[in-house]
Structure 1
Amino acid sequence: MWHDVPGAICANGTPTGLGVNQGTGDRLVIYMSGGSACLDEGCSIGTPSMRKDGGFGATELAACVAGDCDGSVTFPDKSIFDRAAATNPFADATFVFISNCAGDYYVGDNDHAFPGWTAQFHGSRNQRRFAAALGASFPAASRVILTGGSAGSVGAMLNYWQWVEAFPGTRIDLVSDSFAFVFADGPEWRYELHDPQVPPGCTTCAPDYRTVYEFNAGLAPDSRIAVLDSENNWTLDLVTGYQYTAGLEALQTRLDDLPNLRYYVANGNEHILLQHPLDSDAIVVERDGEEPQRLSEFLAHMQGDDPAWASMTCLEP
């Protein structure tokens, strides 16, 4: 079901909101979709919803549910969105879908004039409105799971603080999927025309985006944070000049120091693990002499507060 959120807008200024699929349980899963950024007058590498003649509302949500979400599949069978999947630890949760139609990785706060139109990059303000609306609508949520893939992963990491503020006293878990901050300055997504915002309390985030992991872990120490990726994430490897895997390998050592954070790095080159069945062989962790490990197992341990929840990776530390 589609819900308009007053004041929330796509890059072209059209109103937007949230897609909500009500569950039987009391947990809330908020998913921020992927998609590239609007960087030129035609948003030539951006998804259709963020372009001058685009937008995201009830019609676009229906297309997503039918299988075409800005050109990709977002709700595959046996994924976290499949309520009938036996391996889905979120099967009874209420699902919320947020589009990347602001064109700024969910972190912008700037109007930028292109020939013929002005792009309104206000993903950060949208997050504040979305978080406030859902906090008011679901005050009894037992747990909120904020997640997103690719651009949505960036948005989830850098807006986590807004959701913690909107749900005081509620555990807010974070699942970042396939866009880790492996470099200090984040050159692969930090575009000046968007005026990207960082958490106001994180004084180290702008000079070194990797410190957002420590900031978020300390912001809600009773919550759990998961970082998902694949060893040869082709999308990020390409835009970082094939340095992403080495950066991801080094990041693991940094993340090991955070007691409420674990990572899952699969074999292969898939981009956005949550857009696959949870037990897919395409996103499995395999190491010589060990049993294959599945994403469903990792997420189940996380959500069940299992003491056995541990990082799973095919990369050397």
Structure 2
Amino acid sequence: MTAPLRELLAALTPQQEKVTAYAADTYLQETVDQLDRLGVDAAKFAREHSMLLLKPDAIVARSIEPTLKWLSDNDFRVVSAFRITADRHFARALWYFAWNIASPERRRLADLLVGISDVLVLVVRGADAELPVPVRLTEAKGPTDPRKRRPGELRYLLGRHSYLLNLVHSPDDPADVLRELAIYLDEHRRATVIAEAGAGANRSSDALAIANDLYARTPARSFDRAAATERILRDLEAAGATVAPGFDAQSDADCARLLYSAWAEARELDPWSVIVLGSYVLPMRVGTQPQTLRPVSAKDWLEERP
């Protein structure tokens, strides 16, 4: 199967490094095998569909409804919607080929984040003369870095929170669609979603029903740094912990030391407040090493595919 799989991947990503890595990836193999058994063309499925993950921060921010409107306004149709419970292993599987540059602090915050809420995944279809749906969605969604987002992009619309709290994720290219589908779902649930995607009906109402349940279980919270700092200080005071003399809530260094100290002493702090403050003051990357696999852009797809 290796040679045919590599040929398939070569048609679904502009990165030779990804072809090599994904040819041996169990998640991708599972989806390709299942699509083949179901009589579904894997290449066609991956080009015509993408997925949009609304992370726990998107649930807290009440971002589902504006996301659905943005998708509709940008000619994407929701053809399936499902919720999953994420954990630390889910996060590492999803970003396995990118997290080699993640700092220990970022991983720790991400582990806290997946515990905040279940997540919503939307499967979308859309038409484009030049770009596969996942490439167009990723381009339209906007970058991770808030400073680089532009009006009209989904992440710009949803709010300029922080590098970590970027609310949504989507696969870069068609190869990622096949891999991520198996990370999200087991074989039985994948079969249901594949069938729904093939039917092509608009299932935005399913997404709204899931949203209502997620909102009922997960309170809306502030993304404000000052509010997060104040809550952490209250938690520490209630636990009888002392804060360093001269602590300056406006100082990134002081706030970072506050979190490091609380972690070292195993203090019980409000997880959401730690996530918010940490996203502002803790390092997100390790050194300057490159990602294992770099992100794919529309330019890559148009210029670098063989």
**TM score, norm. by length of structure 1:** 0.24
- Structure with the bigger percentage of helix: 2
State which structure, 1 or 2, has the greater radius of gyration over its C-alpha atoms. 2
**TM score, norm. by length of structure 2:** 0.24
